A = this chain, B = another copy of it.
Amino acid sequence: MHMKESPDKKTPQGFFFSAAEAAIKKPGRNDMALIFSEVESAIAGTFTTNTVKAAPVRLCMQKIASGRGQAILVNSGNANACTGKQGMKDARDMVSGASKQLGIGIGLTYICSTGVIGTPMPMQRVLPMIGPLTGGLGNASFEDIARAIMTTDTFPKITSRQIKIQGKQGTIAGICKGAGMIAPNMATMLCFILTDIAVGKKALHAALKSAVGKSFNRITIDGDMSTNDTALIMANGVLGNSQLTAKSADFPAFQKALDELTYELSQLIVKDGEGATKLIEVIVKNAKSERDAEKAALTIANSSLVKTAIYGNDANWGRIMAAVGYSGVSFNPEKTDVCFNKVKVVKSGVMNNKDKEATEEMKKKELKIIVDLHAGKASAKVLTCDLTEDYIRINAEYRT
């Protein structure tokens, strides 16, 4: 599925970009990139909860405690995961090389990698590119960075928001890559968000955590979780506003803009899901708790049988009922309703004789599955895509 809308590409002040080709996996495209803020910034991050964490993830997790940063070095083509002590050394060498040439402390340079797991980083090709990257700052756009981090993505993912903070026009912009989403071998989801709004490190972390919880943590392509998933946000304060805290009058507007931005990026990832032909929103309503709602929605969204039925335009609600049934949430099947878009196919747990109308809905490119459990007041929404022969082909052939 390709995006038709032209993406929003405003860039916040005070950030500079460069990209270079190190031919990490193969030649012919930029596969390294550098993001640099002209001043030291607040930074926050969220990382994969997979026990198997790539070397750059482990390094970032150490650095992020300070809440300070100025540069992000990133590569695609190699995840630097399951690479042992050598992998940690390689990640450190990349950081120290870039820091030295940028003239900043190594604690201020972050590193992210995405690509194949288990192959040593080709340092003989990577290290010589650090000079061109630091020297070339300003030669690339934020969108160029979005392109350089692509693996099996079919389009770059970028968007931005502008909001008035203390009378000044602040900008938040974000890029991400997914596609082999939550796909460990491609090791996978990276997101970088930049803003010129001054935000305190605690508030920045809280805002990112909240936004990611309802966006990137509520999308799924295949249920597999990556070793490299990372979202970083850098706030350099070049706008000149007085620093936002969680109690600032403008903080809710900042949070809202960030929520929208991460949700939009999440949608782009799902739309570009491997082999996907449809965007599916799974909404579970009136669950006993938000955790139950999220669990039921994720179970439906991860069900291969639900996803293949949708691919086949089959309004096969039995698979949805069964998925909720094994999700482990508390509900009474005989009180449950299921809708495809606005067509109620299940009423109080049984067939509602709307198969014809439902089959029409199934043909649309965007489908809402709404499950009303009538068990409480909590709800959750999860984004996913259908499961197709192309997913199998892409993943059976990716590495070889």
Chain A contact residue count (CB 8 A cutoff):
66
Q: In the complex, how many angstroms separate the beta carbon of A329 from the nearest chain B beta carbon?
A: 8
**A224-B319, A305-B224, A319-B224 known; A82 vs B313 contact (CB < 8 Å):** no
Partner-contacting stretch, out of A96-104, A181-189, A279-287: A181-189
Shortest A372–chain B CB gap in Å is 15
| A395/B84 in contact, CB under 8 A | no
A17: chain B residues within 8 A (beta carbon): none
Check A323 against B399 for contact (C-beta < 8 Å): no
- 0/1 interface trace, chain A 316-335, chain B, CB 8 Å (1 if under): 11110111111000010110
Check A318–B187 contact: CB distance below 8 A: yes
Q: Which residue on B lies nearest to A116, using beta carbons?
A: B318
Q: Which residue of B lies closest to A306 (CB)?
A: B224
B350-A395 in contact (CB<8A): no
> Which of B314, B319, B322, B334 touches A400 (beta carbons < 8 Å)?
B314
Tell me the minimal C-beta distance from A176 to chain B in angstroms. Answer: 19
Contact A82 B346 (CB under 8 A): yes
Are A304 and B224 CB-contacts (below 8 A) given A321-B118, A392-B387, A396-B314?
yes
* Sample of 8 further A-B pairs with CB below 8 A, known A223-B302, A227-B321, A312-B400: A51-B324, A53-B325, A81-B318, A118-B318, A184-B321, A185-B322, A311-B396, A388-B392
Instruction: Please name the 8 residue pairs, one residue from A and one from B, whose CB atoms are nearest each other, closest first.
Output: A184-B322, A117-B318, A312-B396, A52-B325, A308-B395, A225-B326, A50-B325, A389-B389
Q: What are 23 contact pairs spanning A and B, CB under 8 A?
A: A50-B325, A52-B321, A52-B324, A52-B325, A81-B321, A82-B350, A84-B348, A116-B318, A118-B346, A118-B351, A184-B326, A222-B303, A224-B303, A224-B304, A227-B318, A304-B395, A308-B391, A309-B399, A314-B396, A314-B398, A316-B399, A387-B392, A389-B389
